[in-house]
Chains A and B, each alone.
Chain A
Amino acid sequence: MSEIISVKSLVKKYDNDFIAVKNLSLKINQGEIIALLGPNGAGKTTLISTICGLASITSGSITVNGLDVIQDYRKTREIIGLVPQELALEPFEKVINSVKFSRRLFGKKNDNEYIEKLLTKLQLYDKKDNIIKSLSGGMKRRVMIAKALSHNPKILFLDEPTAGVDVELRKDMWNIVKELKNEGVTIILTTHYIEEAEMIADRIGIVNNGELLLVEEKNKLIKRMSIKILKVRLKKPLKKIPQKLAKYKLKLIDDGNSFNYYYNIGKEKTGITSLLSDMNEIGINLFDIQTEETSLEDIFVKIIKD
């Protein structure tokens, strides 16, 4: 896949000397969905703001489609759509007028057919003549997306698009994002919801304290970082872990009736066979065994803590 956005050594320092982004570099490929995960204040929105022109750059450079976002701002912005975190809409305007306004701001001629198709896709067509303030929060969120897509962008930034929306709408949003990806739109998503990244992203970037801690393909990341848990239920409870089993770093639970063994599935040897063999050697009988997988959320928490 060819590169569509390149961020090199980006630094963003605010007037109060707070450094929101610290020497961050990132490459985004055309047609992918990349999810930027991070806690509040991590620098995700600032990163997006610098790419889209909402915030100035202290140092470093950003190119979109090979063009500098400052020198060639017209050409770079033409292909970018932005859905900010806050619901920012003119309350007294009709939905269709608001979407048409956004399209014209981008220098595009009015195209009723495209706008109507877009509103239909976002299930807004029957609301097109409604005043925005009369819409529900979910519908307003859709209007924001319609406005961002009104000029047919190649890149779409979604800054926490499902924050505060119900589960049903969140799933609708995911479907919309997947459809856009199928149409070739590159999507950069920031989110607090690990589940969201897990469901729709191709790559995951983890941002904390203005730094990009890692960027990796979602599946590889999960595989590489996945710790599985082997839960062993014993026939007789243990008061403490025997010396022979100390090397496995077992954790006794359920008043000694069970213990957990943590292992990495990415490694060649899991250590399960030798654990069971050592248990057998010292006469500890097991009653039941089950395994649990770690989620992306566990991985995220581990990376942030490390």
Chain B
Amino acid sequence: MNLRGIQAIYIYEMNRSFRTLIQSLVSPVLSTILYFIVFGAAIGSRMENISNVSYGAFIVPGLIMLTVQMQSVNNASFGIYFPKFIGTTYELLSAPLSFVEIVIGYVGAATTKAFSIGLIILATSYLFVTINIVHPFFMVFFLLLTCISFSLLGFIIGIVSDNFEQLNIAPMLIITPLVFLGGSFYTLDMLPPFWQNFALLNPIVYLISGFRWAFFGIGDVPILTSVFFILLFTSICISIIWYIFKTGYRIKN
């Protein structure tokens, strides 16, 4: 295995984030703090507790999920799209690197960034609400798996995109609505029966539910269902990437 090659891509990507620290770190953290202020402090104080959890605390897992999913997708998609855009993918393809190693480098860096942001947001949330995490190890595991799977998705988007507009279409028009409608700010039983069933078609519901279970021991769906969905999602992304590299789709001539 070309570990130095993987390390080179990983460090290069991480350095890119450090060069754009405001965009990479400050911006998502600030956005999330604003959510805490508006939904947690202002509106949340007038909301009833949900399953004995204050509304301010209740939205923490959803907000973390919202941010890490967007960050994973954005970082990974831009990470691979930018070399495509400026033409430097020739370097990756002509180096003694396997496709798996290239993916580990880019997805690893995107995962690290998103995971770090997730932890920073969690730490920040303690400034606003009191949280006791019921299953801390599972929370870390689930957060990490979410970052990996959405970074894989971002990598696919970066490969498939032909321009910056396409790069933003999936995160803005698909992922954001799904995350907002996936129970970030409410439980499914707060919805009318029809919409409860309809919401179960949204894969993000299972992720937010699983993550919330790790925090408070409560979820919209059984935890094993959430684990199954996150593993299924990760497997689908890996399969698509495997196909892309096997066929050279949008990468090799």
Any B CB within 8 A of the CB of A49:
yes
Residues in B whose Cβ lies below 8 Å from that of A91? 86
Contact mask B1-44 → A, CB, 8 Å, 1/0?
01111011100100100010000000000000000000000000
A53 CB–B CB distance under 8 Å: yes
Interface of B is mostly: helix
Smallest Cβ-Cβ distance to B83: which chain A residue: A90
Question: In this assembly, does B248 line the interface, its C-beta being within 8 Å of a C-beta of chain A?
Answer: yes
The answer to whether the Cβ of A251 comes within 8 Å of any Cβ in the partner chain is: no
B112 to chain A, nearest CB (A): 18
What's the minimum C-beta distance from B134 to chain A, rounded to whole angstroms?
43
Structural contact, A84 and B90, CB atoms closer than 8 A: yes
A105-B9, A108-B4 given; A82·B90 CB < 8 A: yes
Instruction: Name the A residues within 8 Å of B94 (CB-CB).
Output: 52-54, 77, 80, 82
Beta-carbon contacts under 8 Å, A34-92 to B: 46, 49, 52-56, 73-75, 77-78, 80, 82, 84, 86, 88-92
Question: Does B47 sit within 8 A of A, measured CB to CB?
Answer: no
Among B2, B9, B88, the residue within 8 A (CB) of A107 is B2
Chain B residues whose C-beta falls within 8 Å of the C-beta of A264 in the assembled complex: none
Asked if residues A107 and B253 are in contact (CB atoms below 8 Å), the reply is no
Whether a CB of chain A sits under 8 angstroms from the CB of B236 is no
Q: Are A105 and B92 in contact (CB under 8 A)?
A: yes
Alpha-carbon distance A77/B91, docked complex (angstroms): 11
Q: Is the pair A54, B93 in contact by a Cβ cutoff of 8 Å?
A: yes
Q: Considering the chains assembled together, what is the distance between the CA atoms of A75 and B98 in angstroms?
A: 12
- A107 proximity list for chain B (CB < 8 A): 2-5, 96
Tell me whether B95 and A106 are in contact (CB under 8 A): yes
Cβ-neighbour of A101 out of B8, B98, B248 (below 8 A) = B8
Q: Are A56 and B248 within 8 A (Cβ)?
A: yes
A89 pairs with B88, CB closer than 8 A: yes
Which residues of B sit under 8 angstroms from A75, Cβ to Cβ? 96
Distance of A74 Cα from B87 Cα, bound (Å): 22
Q: Which of A56, A73, A78, A89 contacts B86 (CB 8 A)?
A: A89
Question: Distance in Å from the Cβ of A282 to the closest Cβ of chain B?
Answer: 63
Name the interface residues of A142-173: CB closer than 8 Å to any CB of B. Answer: 147
How distant is the Cα of A105 from the Cα of B88 in the complex, in angstroms?
Answer: 12
Complex Cα distance, B90 from A86, in Å, reads 10
Taking CB atoms, residues of chain A closer than 8 Å to B9 are: 105
- Please give me the residue from chain B that is nearest to A105 by CB atom: B95
CB distance from B246 to the nearest CB of A (A): 10
B86 / chain A contacts, CB cutoff of 8 Å: 88-91
Given contacts A82-B90, A88-B86, A89-B88, contact A106 B96 (CB under 8 A): yes
CA distance A89 to B92 in the complex (A): 13
- Could you tell me which residues of chain A, from 101 to 146, have a CB within 8 Å of some CB in chain B? 101-102, 104-109
B145 interfacial by beta-carbon distance below 8 Å: no
- For A106, list chain B residues within 8 Å (CB): 5, 95-96
Q: Which of A49, A97, A107 has the most CB of B within 10 A?
A: A107
* A193 at the B interface (CB under 8 A): no
Binary contact track B118-141/A, C-beta < 8 Å → 1, others 0:
000000000000000000000000
The residues in B between 228 and 252 inclusive whose CB is less than 8 angstroms from any CB of A are 248, 252
Partner-B contacts on A (CB < 8 A): 14, 46, 49, 52-56, 73-75, 77-78, 80, 82, 84, 86, 88-92, 97, 101-102, 104-109, 147
5 other A-B residue contacts (CB within 8 Å) besides A73-B96, A84-B87: A54-B93, A80-B94, A89-B86, A104-B5, A105-B91
